[in-house]
């Protein structure tokens, strides 16, 4: 979306949480095109602020800090929290308490739209021989996935009860390039990721929407047909990387769960408590 240099930007102030993570760093620049002010936060120091930026170091489990963080923003891209499997107590603070804190702060400050980084791991225990649409049942593949289910349920509640809209992005594997054979299916290029966030922010009404974050890869486990109203059209594909992970004869044993389920290695993890309490 090109923008005339002097035109007012569509948003006054956007908040990006998790700005220091892999995807946050990709998105941070793009947001400059869409908002006069971009407030970026992270649990670690989010780096130097650009001219149009406000930076905040915030632990999302700190309710008071989150309340301040959200003040004055028009919409939120919520990438914050833990994005890999982790001890339950850590996930509880970052992904459950943290997400609740963010939604409550958003409600109290009148924020109308949140783009929520959910994950394909909310459905990771579906077999690799199925294709899921956006109504597929939750089948989380890890405690991490369970906490992302929580975020989807919580945001559904805030929409039904308060009209706060959320787009849940069930992000596949968003990296510079696919790193293994599984990612030939789950790859989401950075460019497509940014486009998906753009669609999620700018579509006039989204209600409570669910969409898989995936590029136009040759093989697919996910069908975004029911989210067609978002207008997301991926432009990239994993196809150029296919030769790096040459196909082999299907001799793997059927009992290897990481090969059988969409979640891949996540399905092999075991719950960890975290620090004793």
Residue 170 CB neighbours (<10 A): 25
| 221 CA to centre of own chain | 17
β-pairing, 222-223 with 132-133? parallel
Question: In the complex, what is the shortest distance from the CB of residue 47 to a copy of itself, in angstroms, rounded to a whole number?
Answer: 26
Are the C-beta atoms of residues 18 and 72 closer than 8 Å to each other?
no
In this chain, which of 21, 98, 140, 213 binds a copy of itself, going by CB under 8 A? 140
For the segment 206-245, give every residue that binds a copy of itself (CB under 8 A).
206-207, 209, 217-221, 223, 225-231, 233, 242-243
185 touching a copy of itself, by CB under 8 A = yes
144 is catalytic: yes
Which residues in the 12-41 window bind a copy of itself by CB under 8 A? 12
CA distance 256 to 137: 23
Over 36-88, what HEC string results?
EEEEEEECCCCCCCCCCEEEEECCCCCHHHHHHHHCCCCEEEECCCCCCCCCH
Distance CA 84, CA 79 (A): 12
Q: How far is the CB of 276 from a copy of itself (least distance, A)?
A: 8
Nearer to a copy of itself, 10 or 72 (CB): 10
- Is 97 among the residues that bind a copy of itself (CB under 8 A)? yes
Whose tokens are 């196909």? That residue is 247
Binding segment for a copy of itself (CB under 8 A), chosen from 4-12, 22-30, 44-52, 169-177, is: 4-12
Shortest distance (Å) from residue 133 CB to a copy of itself = 9
Please give the Cα distance from 104 to 70 (Å, whole number): 10
| Given 25, 52, 138, 179, the residue binding a copy of itself (CB under 8 A) | 138
Which region, judged by CB under 8 A, interacts with a copy of itself, from 21-29, 44-52, 172-180, 202-210?
Answer: 202-210
3-state helix, strand, coil in the chain (%, to 5): 35, 20, 45
Figure out which of the listed residues 51, 161, 176, 275 binds a copy of itself, where binding follows CB under 8 A. 161
Binding status of residue 49 toward a copy of itself by CB under 8 A: no
Residue 72 Cβ vs a copy of itself, minimum distance, rounded to whole Å = 14
Per-residue CA distances from 51 to 9, 10, 54, 145, 155 (Å): 15, 18, 8, 37, 32
Minimum Å gap between C-beta 132 and a copy of itself is: 10
* Segment interacting with a copy of itself, rule: CB under 8 A, options 23-31, 37-45, 79-87, 268-276: 268-276
Catalytic pick among 100, 116, 144, 158? 144
Query: Strands 208-213 and 222-223: what pairing?
Result: unpaired
Supply the residues annotated as catalytic: 144
């Amino acid at each position: 979306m090109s923008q005339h240099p002097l035109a007012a930007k569509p948003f006054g102030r956007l908040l990006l949480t998790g700005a220091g993570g892999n995807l946050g760093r990709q998105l941070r620049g793009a947001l400059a095109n869409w908002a006069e002010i971009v407030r970026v936060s992270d649990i670690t120091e989010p780096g130097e602020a650009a001219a149009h930026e406000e930076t905040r170091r915030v632990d999302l489990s700190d309710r008071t800090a989150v309340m301040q963080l959200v003040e004055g923003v028009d919409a939120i891209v919520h990438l914050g929290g833990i994005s890999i499997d982790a001890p339950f107590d850590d996930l509880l603070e970052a992904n459950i308490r943290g997400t609740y804190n963010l939604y409550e702060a958003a409600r109290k400050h009148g924020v109308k739209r949140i783009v929520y980084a959910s994950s394909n791991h909310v459905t990771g225990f579906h077999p690799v021989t199925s294709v899921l649409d956006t109504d597929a049942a939750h089948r989380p593949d890890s405690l991490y996935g369970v906490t992302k289910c929580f975020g989807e349920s919580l945001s559904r509640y805030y929409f039904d009860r308060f009209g706060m809209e959320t787009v849940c992005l069930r992000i596949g594997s968003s990296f510079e390039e696919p790193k293994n054979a599984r990612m030939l299916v789950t790859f989401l290029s950075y460019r497509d990721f940014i486009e998906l966030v753009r669609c999620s922010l700018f579509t006039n009404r989204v209600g409570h929407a669910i969409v898989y974050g995936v590029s136009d890869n040759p093989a697919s486990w996910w069908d975004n047909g029911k989210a067609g109203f978002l207008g997301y059209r991926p432009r990239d594909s994993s196809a150029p990387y296919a030769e790096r992970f040459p196909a082999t004869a299907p001799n793997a044993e059927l009992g290897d769960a990481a090969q059988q389920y969409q979640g891949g290695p996540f399905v092999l993890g075991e719950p960890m408590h975290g620090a004793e309490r």
